[in-house]
Amino acid sequence: MIAGERCTRACGFCAVTTAKPFALDQEEPERVAEAIRRLKLRHVVITAVARDDLADGGSDHFASTIKAARRINPGIVIEVLVPDFNGKRESLERVLQAKPEVFNHNLETVERLTPFVRSRAKYQLSLAFLKQAKELDPAVVTKSGLMLGLGESEVEVFQAMDDLRAAAVQVLTLGQYLRPTPRHLPVVEYIMPAAFELYKEIALQKGFEYVAAGPLVRSSYHASDYSPKRAGFSEAGGVKNSLV
Ligand code: SF4
């Protein structure tokens, strides 16, 4: 996770500290690249806090980190898990121009619950953001994820799947929401493993190319199991490592 430990947002499910962030560490991209090299990673997931305090939302820092990681680690598969940059097209372009193989932005929950779960975000904005990413770079693999157990209905989950497919999202993760502390949103329901299996089956029928679904699935869960074509990365060669 780059760009500091302080986030400008306060999503109801997230344990990251909400506070005024510090200035960006300009040497971080090189250090992340060096960490990837030392850890011998072949697939890395790079994410960040939301940096609404910065005009570019931290997109330039993302791009610098992708470029440094690629320069020091040729052949690496780079997946980014980005905030919505308040929907700014130039921020999105900046990240995509650095050519990550996988572009992930989480929808997190169904439309009805979005104002309660991630109050500063908008469901439709996230969908438009994902759609625009695919339009700007048709070769990038687009990915998103939902937490289940926050009080959503099955019908709402199916609708979210349809909405993501309409935005041309290719990869989906579905996991159980777990409450980090009593100050966070309560768990409304524990979804049974069989229900996750059914969701996975239906998501694949709806056209997702790859679906990870299960109680312990998170957005970077076994991320390397999916093989982006651009990098020529084979499924059999996947390494289950990431920096998140
Ligand atoms: S924007 Fe991301 S890091 Fe910040 S509170 Fe929300 S989920 Fe956590």
Burial 187-222 (b: 16+ CB within 10 A, else e): beeebeeebbeebbebbeeeebebbbbbbebbbbbe
CA-based nearest residue to 29, from 5, 74, 64, 56: 64
pLDDT at 232 over 90: no
How much is the average pLDDT of 127-134?
98
User: Is any ligand 1 atom within 6 A of the Cβ of residue 9?
Assistant: yes
pLDDT at 57 over 50: yes
The amino acid at residue 204 is L
**Would you state the pLDDT for residue 227?**
67
Does the CB atom of residue 14 touch ligand 1 within 6 A? Answer: yes
Written as six digits, the tokens of 39 are 């850890």
Q: Please state, for a pLDDT cut of 70, what percent of the chain lies above it.
A: 93
**What is the rounded average pLDDT of the residues 61-72?**
98
Interval 81-91: pLDDT, tens: 999 999 999 99
Q: For residue 133, with 0-12 CB atoms within 10 Å meaning exposed, 13-18 middle and 19 or more buried, which class applies?
A: buried
Q: What is the mean pLDDT of the chain?
A: 93
Identify whether the C-beta of residue 164 lies closer than 8 Å to the C-beta of residue 144.
yes
Would the pLDDT of 230 be above 90?
Answer: no
Ligand 1 pocket check for 1: Cβ under 6 Å:
no
Residue 232 Cα to ligand 1 midpoint, Å, equals 32
pLDDT of residue 150: 98
Summarize pLDDT for 157-181 with one digit per residue, the tens.
999 999 999 999 999 999 999 999 9
The per-residue pLDDT for 226 is 86
Q: What is the residue type of 102?
A: V
Mean pLDDT of 139-147: 97
Residue 233 confidence (pLDDT): 42
Which strand ranges, in their side-by-side order, compose the sheet holding 77-81?
Answer: 43-47, 77-81, 102-104, 141-148, 171-176, 210-214
Q: Using CA positions, which residue lies closest to atom 8 of ligand 1?
A: 14
How many other CB atoms are there within 10 angstroms of residue 81's CB atom? 24
Nearest CA to ligand 1 atom 2: 49
pLDDT recorded at residue 92: 98
- Summarised one tens digit per residue, pLDDT across range 175-212 is 999 999 999 999 999 999 999 999 999 999 999 999 99
**What architecture (CATH level 2) is domain 6-237?**
Alpha-Beta Barrel (3.20)
User: Measured at the alpha carbon of residue 49, what is the angle toward residues 200 and 233, in degrees to the nearest 5?
Assistant: 50
Does any ligand 1 atom lie closer than 6 A to the CB of residue 185? no
* Ligand 1 midpoint to CA 114 (Å): 13
149 lines ligand 1 (CB under 6 A): no
The pLDDT of residue 42 is above 90: yes
Q: What percentage of the chain reaches a pLDDT higher than 90?
A: 92
In angstroms, rounded to a whole number, what is the distance separating the alpha carbons of residues 66 and 159?
Answer: 33
The number of beta carbons lying within 10 Å of the beta carbon of residue 6 is: 15
Atom from ligand 1 closest to the CA of residue 7: 4
What pLDDT shows up at residue 229? 55
What pLDDT score was predicted for residue 240? Answer: 36
Span from the CA of 49 to the centroid of ligand 1 (angstroms): 6
Mean pLDDT of 32-59: 97
* Residue recorded with tokens 């312990």: 216
pLDDT surpasses 80 at 238: no
Q: What is the pLDDT of residue 241?
A: 36
With a 6 Å cutoff on the Cβ, whether 147 touches ligand 1 is no
φ and ψ of 54, to 5 deg: -100, 140
